[in-house]
Every structure is written in structure tokens, then in C-alpha cells.
Structure 1
């Protein structure tokens, strides 16, 4: 509670979170007599004006998290919006949707690109298992297809849904100078590869929902999670949250949340068991659930015991030979360092003596960071490491600092210690995000991971200087530099059609302007203060909105 009447009360620790629910399963994916029809939409959001730049970001209208920080400095935070209705497929459309797949040559190119450029970000799809399914799929006969999905093996019915999502992600992250033959996928002169990616992802969603109710499969859950990735990357964050909820319920129907790990240490065998893959997928679902719950201020629907999560593999095999880490190892390393506390952080509002809890979690994370395995440290040997590892570890470092940031953020207006620790974590995030972008190829600029952490951190550091202008004055030079660099990063991402960056940019530019006016009240923007090359926040904001 705020004790001073002139203060804006942001984090009422006893307040209930704004109710939000997943779209009920029974309202999704309904079809009648083989005719496509629109699914009933989710429960409408609370009434209020919704600034257009907020819509793709998907934040809940909560007093906690970034919306609350924005509200503290006079920004509107009515962030909920009504997502558009989605068409639901009828099972009879299965074969016609299969015909939308591209040629085998194009599939081979895009699958290769996916596992080279994209897969390590999420580690949702195991390459060996996927390639085995693809080989089985290609052995199906024309007669089997003519007889419909009931004539296909159960394990393969939902495979094309996953294949469509893999193709969509590969197309979304193509470089400007891509392989010429991919232009054959366009059927109109003004088409972009991202347009085709959206069509493939939509086809995958329709296929996945065709079989979800009657026969949920691990492949179907993977397809839904990949669809959530696509939606989040393309700015449909509320849609991604609902899709994630559907994937979680289907995973629970399969019992993935009940599966114990095969061993206490993750092993990278030539052929992962379905059990192991299911457990891996459930971990990713849980991490997405926790992260989106904290970032967007929405309820969580999963729980996971750290005792049920394997440790990263050793950097050496049984013979003592060096072996490179895999994407899964980076995720597991981040989990045991910090991510495992996300579910506790999400529920801290229910803890009476929260100061003890946050101090304990904070110290544990610092200890874990100090004890990272050698392959995950800055001082590691770079000899022979895979090309994706450096960016993956930098992403992990950002996410670990985000956990520290999220731990203290709800209490920044009530507790000076939390305010300073959250501020320091935010500065670490911004510096990490700068290093990450420096080693990120332009084809990766659409990734949502390059926006949310930067945006949340920029909002907090600016808000702290605005609300507590007498504190952290010695940090202001570094703050200003980090905000200016962050704005430039968002502009670079915006230029590559990153929808989320487009939405975040005008908000942080306004906050930057407001921060300068607070710290330097005697100066105005007319004398050149601003720190960006285009010289006009007003023009940029108008263009962005």
C-alpha cells in the first residue's frame, strides 16, 4: 500500500489480479457438416481506450508489471484488446489442406533452414524425430490420402500441422538475399515470403485443431506451440497466449505433466524417446506459461517441480572427450539457475512476508550464476563451439537477469532495496540485449525475444528516474546511453518489420522525453536534447501509431 496520498498506488500487494481466462476448449474449433465457421471469441476485455501501439504487445490490464510502471508515469495502460475470431476447420477439409504443402524440393530447403537458423531458439522440435516422421509421411500412398485421415497412422495425422509450422518459421526468418527458388512459392507480384509463412501457419493451425479433441498427440501439441511462436513473433500476442493455453490443456490430456524424467541428467542420444520428448515439450510449455504470465500479467495454469527437471549434460562424454552443448542444455542451465523461480515470483503477491522470500530467491540466483558450468561462462573456450551457442547463452543471460528483474519489480514503489535491485537488473538486461543484437543476423530480427526484455527494462529504468529523480543520479549517464541505444535497436528491428518493436518504440520514446524533462527541467527538447538521429519524437510517434 502507498502511505503518501500524493503517490500513485501501483502495487497493492493484497489486490487480486485482473481476472483473465483461457478461451474454453468447448468454444474452440467447432465445425458443422464439413463447413468452416468462425469460433466464438474469447470473453471481451474490460472497457477502455486501447492505444493502438499497445495492442500487439498483449499486456493484461494489471497493476503489476510493466502496465503498472507505465501508469505510474502517466501513460495509459488499458492494454487488453479483442482478438479477431478464428475460422475452425472441419475434418473433411484435411486432404484439401494437405495439398497446400509446397513441393518436396521447397520443403527440404525450408526444413534445413529451420533447423539451422530457428530451432535452437525454442527447442520444441527434435530434428532426428522430425526427419523420421517426414520420411514416414513421404511413404504414404495416394490411396491412403484419398481415403482420408482415418486411413493414416494416428502418429502421422497431425504431422502436416507441425510441418506447416516449421515451414512458416523458416520462411519468416529468411534473409533478404534468400535462395531464388523460394520465390516460386509466391503467387502474386506483391507477395512477401512472410505472407506465405502466414498462410502456412494458418493451414497448420486448422489441421491441428481438426484432431485435437478426439486424439491429442505429442506432434499436435508441438504444432500448437509452434503456432504460438508464430503468433507472438508476428504481433498477435493475445492470440499466442490463448494458443498456449490450448496446447497446455492438450498436453495435460496426454499426461505430459505427469511424466517423470528418464534420468536426472539430460542425455543427447541419437534417438530421443517419445517419453523424453514429451517431457521436454512440457518444460517449454511451463516456461512459456510462467514467462507470459509474469510479462503480460496473466494467470498461470502449470506447475513444475525442479526435482522433475533434468540437469544439463556434462561437457564431456563417458570417454572424457569434449562434446558441445545442445540447445536443450542451455534451456536446462537457465532453468536451474533462475527460471525455476518464475512460478514462485508469479505467486509472491500471496505471500505475507514477501521480503524474506525475495531476499532468499535473490541470493540463490546470485549463487547459481557464480556456479554456472564452464561451457556457459563468458570465460569459456570458444574453440569448436557451435555457431548458435554464443547467441543462445546471451539470451539465457538476458532471461536470468529478467528473473531477478521480475522478482523485485512488483515492490519498487514500496521498497527502496527492491527498486535499486530491479533497476540494476534492468540495466544488465539492456546491455545484454545490445550484445545479443550485435551478434544477431538481420534474418533473426523478427524474433520476439529481442523486444520484450528491452521494452520492460527501458520502461522501468525511465520510470525510476521519473518517479525518484533524486535517486540513482550517478547512474543517469549510463541510463541515458542504454535508453538511446535501446531506441536505436528498436528502430533497427522496426525496419525489419518486427511488429512488436513497432509498438514498443513510440512508448519508450515518450518515456525518454519525459525522463529528460524530469531530470533536466531547465532544458527543452528544442535545444537538441533527445539522443536520437531523427530529431523528432513527435513525428516518429505519429508515424508509429
Structure 2
């Protein structure tokens, strides 16, 4: 018996190597509590590649061992550095320095540098997460294709929408190419900051958006086998979904600025594909992550003796960059709440952020002090976005005071808001203001006319939404709502002419045109003008809008869906006006007093363009409305006109219900 080998079974090692070596009790987290307490989380490794457990109850641990990750399950729950802190368990915000468990926002640049390095070690990924991220990142196209698509994005999309700041994106992209990509190819994510971990997700979204605007003759289109709009949309969707897979793997609990940008760009991509409801949900994710980071709170930067002037300038510009990201989120949230009847996600009273400076971020931030350009300097490309932020603040004021509701007792408040919009417009820099603009910069910088029309479109859209609910009860509000709709359509036409035909998938070129056209056609049907010249003006604006919608329908799902109902409304308007003219004893209700109608914006807003011209594109032809007679079977009587008018002037206009009724 003495020579018989031992019969006891050797137990598998489940502790981390450090706990096994030092004979400590390991809780098998990643990293475990012992390694965290000893301040050696990077040394917490396991000999077995099996899935690790986080601290939990024994029954839950058994269940997690028995049921590994399913393909659709988010892996991010196992990626936390340690057990939740007390403030996290209570639900305190880590961003607000005034809370009991929050960190102070009053930090010097040197303290911020130390804090940022500490945060780089806070995200620990399971081996399964690392493997998936590496696999997804390796599916990015070759660098020459990436480079061309990034250039397309910044040339065709970002110069108009300013979603990303090119300096910071290019800086992260260079770091990704120099360091991170090498690690990815080796299957490791060592020494990568949290922001860099999220960067491939952002890069996928940039590529996805760029593909929507990619000319078919480019080398990237040939490489990606994109030969028409449908194949481009499929490729774009595949890349965008891969970015979301990376987000699901990393999780949204411990966010970064790059992660916020990824979600924001995904929302933009969804809107351009006509998926507005999904876009709103993704935007809400982006806003919540930004709030967790404290982007809605203004930092107080404190100078110290060990920080150089260059470092201070870098931090000033980085603070400017974060403020711009937050104001973009704020503007989009406000716009969707006011124009698309969505509830607000942001409470303006929670925000202490300062308005961004109206200037361009330089190529070398450490060499320039942030300040607005002088009177004779090149105009800033950021002006339209500052203006949009001002309008967004007015939207919050309107929604909070109830001015937008149909049963408002006093319309003077509506007029006061309009006057404030006019005041803001008059204070804009000369190059982009609607009234008497300085056109001397237009030839050298072709984006300035686009920015000017963007400002006009934002102002007109806001005024239409402001006056629209009151158009049924107050003749002045109705007159101004109609004129605002005409202003929207005129600015939309000029934007369409200024932007290339390939950009016809841009959301704003179809959404606001459809909305303004529906209101204008239905209101004219309900209140036909006794001024034939005015009707011709309205009719011509609607013809142009319909031409654009027809032109865009093959590329824009939104335009395709809106075309039938717009045709029906225009047909009803035509019939209603003809009936009005043929009446034996007409008693017209004037839509506007004869030729009193002027733009709600400064008087010469559109004087630099003259008549509207179609873009120089192949088969673009103006329609003559000859084919509208049979597009709707709705009876053309005053009862139906009243129902339609009541619908389009609702405080919360339900366009789906309206379109279903029209069908």
C-alpha cells in the first residue's frame, strides 16, 4: 500500500497567479480584490482562459459558470475594475463636484494630467472582450482606404455639420495608427487609454457616414465594391453596426469623450437613413454618457506654478472642444423636441457650461489663445453652430413657459421671442448675417454661403414651429407661419443648389422641406388667398420643393416616404383654390393681405440669389403638377380641409397619423 500512488484528485487552480503564489484568498474578479488592494491590478492574470467571475453571490456565480455569454449578450458587465463604489451604489453622479462623493471640477492642468493617467488603468477587460475588440478592429479597411474616407467625411459632411473636431480626431487617429494598431495585430490591448479603446468604434462610424457621400469613381468605392447607392448603403450599414458592436463590448457605464462622439455620429447616420426614431434613442444614450462625464458642467481651470503656458493653452482648447460637443448634443435634443415632438432629455437648468467661443480650433492649439476672429479676419466656420445653440436655448424657454401650446392666452410672448431671434440675427458677423452680408469672402471660402443659408434655415424652421400652433386662432400668427414656411423652402432650395447632388441624402434637405410644404399646402387649402399672385408664389415654392423630393427619393428614404402625401396635399390645395375662384359669391378669408407678405427675416435675406434655379444635374426638370389630379381620393370639401389644418397645426403634430388618414 505504501507504494500505491495517491488517489486524491488534484484541484484546478482558479485563483489568479499572484494570489496563488502568495496563498491569498482570491475572489476571481478581473482584477481581483487582493491585487487591487495591493495596487498591482496589471499583474492580476489567470492561468486558465476560462471566463472569470466578478464578486457576486454564490448562486449567481454558479449560474454564470453554467451559462456562458450568449452571442447577443453585452460583455461589458465583466469589464469593471472592481466592485461598485459607495457613490455608484447610491447613484451619485461622479461628474458633479458639489455632491458629497463627487470629485472637484476645480483642477489645475497638472492635476488633470495625473487624474487622466489614473483613469487609464480603470478599465480592465476580460480575455473574451479583448479578443472580440481585436477581431472587430482588424475588420477596418486598409489605411489608404480609411484615409480617403476620412477625408471625404471632413470635406463633405463635417464642414457643414461640425460633429467632430478634426484636430482632435486626427490626433487620436495618428496615435491609433502608431501604437494601438500594432497591439491589435498582436491580439493585445495593453497600455491603451479608454479613449483609444473606443476609437475604432468612432472610426467605423466616420467611415459609415463617409460612404453615404462617397463618389462612385473613387478608389475607395472600387475597393469596397460600391457601384450604386444600394451597395453603398449596405456597406455603410455594415461598418456602422461594427462600431456599435465595439460599443456593446466595452459598455456604456464607464464612458469617454470618444464614446460620446461615436453615439452622436451613429445618431446622425440613422437620421440620414430615415430612421429618426432610432436616432433619437441613440442620441439619448450619447447625452446620458456625456452627463456622466460632466460635459454639461463648466470646468474651472486653475493655473499653477508647475504648468507651462503651452500646457495651459492645450487645456483651454480641450475645454473648448468639450463644450462644443455638449452644445451639439444640447442643440440636437432641443431641435428634436421642438420640431419632432420628442420629450426633452436635457434640463437646461442643470447645465452650467459656457457658450463656446465663435472661432476655429487651430492646428497648433498650444500656440494660440482662444478668441473670436476680428472684423477683418477670416470668418469662423463655427458661427452657425453658435447661432443654433442660441436658438436651442430659446426652444427650452418656449417649452418651459408653454408659449408653444395652442391655447396660449397671450400671443405677445410669441412676438417677443420672434424679436429676440431677429436681434440675434442682426448681431451675427457680417459674413454670415442674413441682412446685408459681406459677400467678399464667398469666392475664397465656398462654405460661407452654405453657412449663411444654414443660419436662415435654422431661424425659419424655429419661427414656423413657434407660430404654427397659433395659426388657427390668430390671423397674424397664421400669416407669419405661412411666411416662415416660405422662408424655409427658399433656404432649402438654395442649400440644395449649393450642395452637390451626391449630398441629397442629407437629412435636413428632406425633413424640413416636407414639414414646411405640408403646412403651406394645407393652410392654403383651408384659407385660399384672394391674391392670385400670392397663390402663384406659394405654388411655385411647393413645385420646387416637390422637385427636390422627387430628385432625392432614390437616395433618401425620408424623401421617398414623404413624396406621396406631399403630392396629395398639393393636389388638394390646387382644387381648393380653383373652387374658390369659381365661386359665384366668394367670401374669401385672406391668407395674407395683398403683397404685405415679407420674409420674417431681414428684408434682403434672399436678395443675393434672385430666382431659384435647379442644380446643374442631368434630368432635373420642374414638374407642372399635371399628374397630381389622381394622387388622392380624399373629397375636396371644407370639412376635410378643416381636419387637415387642425392636424398640421397641432402642438405635437403626428405626421404618421396624418399620412395614414391621407392614404
Question: Aligned residue for 2:628?
Answer: 537
Q: CA deviation at 1:180?
A: 3.2
Structure 1 match to 2:144: 105
The residue number in structure 1 matching 2:277 is: 238
Query: Matches of 1:98 and 1:295 in 2, distance apart?
Result: 38
Q: For residues 487 and 395 of structure 1, do their structure 2 counterparts lie closer, same or farther at Cα, with a shift above 3 Å needed?
A: same
Counterpart position of 1:382:
440
CA distance in 1, matches of 2:439, 2:573: 41
* Structure 1 residue 465 corresponds to structure 2 residue 511: no
Q: Is the 8 A contact 1:261 1:279 kept in 2?
A: no
| 1:426 to 1:534, Cα distance in 2 relative to 1, 3 A | closer
Determine which of 270, 282, 285 is the counterpart of 2:326.
282
Compared CA separation, residues 474 and 189, structure 1 to 2 (3 A): closer
Provide the C-alpha distance between the structure 1 equivalents of 2:399 and 2:139, rounded to a whole number of angstroms. Answer: 42
- Alpha carbons of structure 1 residues 539 and 201: separation in structure 2 relative to 1, 3 Å: farther
Residue matched to 1:499: 557
Change in CA separation of 1:469 and 1:262 when aligned onto 2, cut-off 3 Å: farther
Q: In structure 2, what is the Cα distance between the partners aligned to 1:117 and 1:240?
A: 21
Write out per-residue CA displacement over residues 433-464 of structure 1, whole angstroms, 9 at most, x where no aligned residue. 11111111112111001012111111111121
* Residue of structure 2 in register with 1:67 after alignment: none
CA distance 1:457–1:141, change in 2 (3 Å): closer
User: How much is the aligned-residue C-alpha RMSD, in angstroms?
Assistant: 3.3
Alpha-carbon contact 1:257-1:282 (below 8 Å) kept: yes
Could you tell me how far apart the structure 2 residues matched to 1:262 and 1:382 are? 39
Which of 383, 393, 398 aligns to 1:345? It is 398
1:402, 1:429 within 8 Å by CA — same for their partners in 2? Answer: yes
| Structure 1 position 279, deviation (Å) | 1.3
Partner of 2:651: none
**CA-to-partner distance for each residue in 1:143-191, whole Å, 9 max, x for gaps?**
4554544652222000011111111111111234x31343111399997
CA contact (8 A) 1:330 1:393 kept: yes
CA 1:317/1:96 → structure 2, altered by over 3 Å: closer, same or farther?
A: closer
Rounded Cα–Cα distance in structure 2 between residues aligned with 1:481 and 1:417: 23
Q: Where does residue 521 of structure 1 map in the other structure?
A: 579
Deviation at 1:216, TM superposition (A): 0.3
Residues 320 and 356 of structure 2 are in contact (CA less than 8 Å); yes or no, is this contact kept in structure 1?
no
Mark the CA change 1:38 to 1:355 in structure 2 (over 3 Å): closer, same or farther: farther
Paired residue for 2:387, among 330, 333, 358?
Answer: 333
Shift in alpha-carbon separation, 1:290–1:318, aligned structure 2, 3 A: closer
Aligned equivalent of 1:15: none
Distance 1:261 1:333, change over 3 A: farther
Indicate conservation of the 8 Å contact 2:373/2:379, yes or no: no
Q: Does 1:372 align with 2:428?
A: yes
TM-score normalised by L of structure 2: 0.62
| Residues 371 and 274 of structure 1, relative CA distance in 2, 3 Å threshold | closer
Segments of structure 1 that go 5 or more residues without pairing to the other structure are 1-31, 40-88, 264-268, 525-530
Residue of structure 2 in register with 1:36 after alignment: 71
On the 8 A contact 1:339/1:403 being kept in 2, the answer is: no
Q: Which residue of 150, 153, 158 corresponds with 2:193?
A: 153
What residue is the counterpart of 1:174 in the other structure? 214
Alignment of 1:265-304 (within 5 A): 273-304=317-348
Compute the displacement of 1:326 (Å): 3.5
1:264-305 deviation per Cα after TM superposition (whole angstroms, max 9, x unaligned):
xxxxx8997432222111101111111111222110011346
Alignment length (residue pairs):
448
Among 160, 184, 199, the residue aligned to 1:121 = 160
Cross-structure match for 1:454 = 513
Segments of structure 2 that go 5 or more residues without pairing to the other structure are 1-66, 75-127, 303-312, 361-369, 583-621, 634-662
Larger radius of gyration: 2
Distance apart, 1:538 and its partner CA:
7.1
Q: Which residue of 1 aligns with 2:223?
A: 184
Query: Could you say if the C-alpha distance between residues 191 and 499 of structure 1 is closer, same or farther in structure 2, counting changes exceeding 3 Å?
Result: closer
3-state SS of the aligned residue for 2:446? coil
Deviation at 1:261, TM superposition (A): 8.7
Structure having greater relative contact order (Cα 8 Å, sep ≥ 6): 1
Query: Could you list the per-position Cα deviations for residues 83-142 of structure 1 after superposition, in whole angstroms to 9, with x for gaps in the alignment?
Result: xxxxxx977521221121000010111111111111122212111111111111112264
Give the C-alpha shift of residue 317 in structure 1: 7.8
Q: Counterparts of 1:369 and 1:191 in 2: how far apart (Å)?
A: 41
Q: Secondary structure at the match of 1:375?
A: coil
Bigger mean CA offset, 109-118 vs 190-199: 190-199
| Contact in 1 for aligned 2:198/2:258 (Cα 8 Å) | yes
Q: Name the structure 1 match of 2:378.
A: 324
Partners of 2:230 and 2:489 in 1: CA distance: 35
Mapped partners of 2:171, 2:193: distance in 1: 14
CA distance in 1, matches of 2:338, 2:417: 16
Distance in 2 of aligned mates of 1:523 and 1:421: 24
Report what 1:434 is aligned to.
493
- Distance across 1 between alignment mates of 2:387 and 2:565: 33
- Tell me what 2:540 maps to: 481
Specify whether residues 307 and 280 from structure 1 end up closer, same or farther in structure 2 by C-alpha distance, changes over 3 A only: closer
- List per-residue Cα deviations over 1:504-534 (Å, max 9, x = no partner): 111111100011111112899xxxxxx8357
Q: C-alpha separation between the residues in 2 aligned to 1:261 and 1:460?
A: 46
The SS at the match of 2:579 is: coil
2:454 is aligned with 1:395: yes
The equivalent residue for 1:309 is: 355
Aligned to 1:164: 204
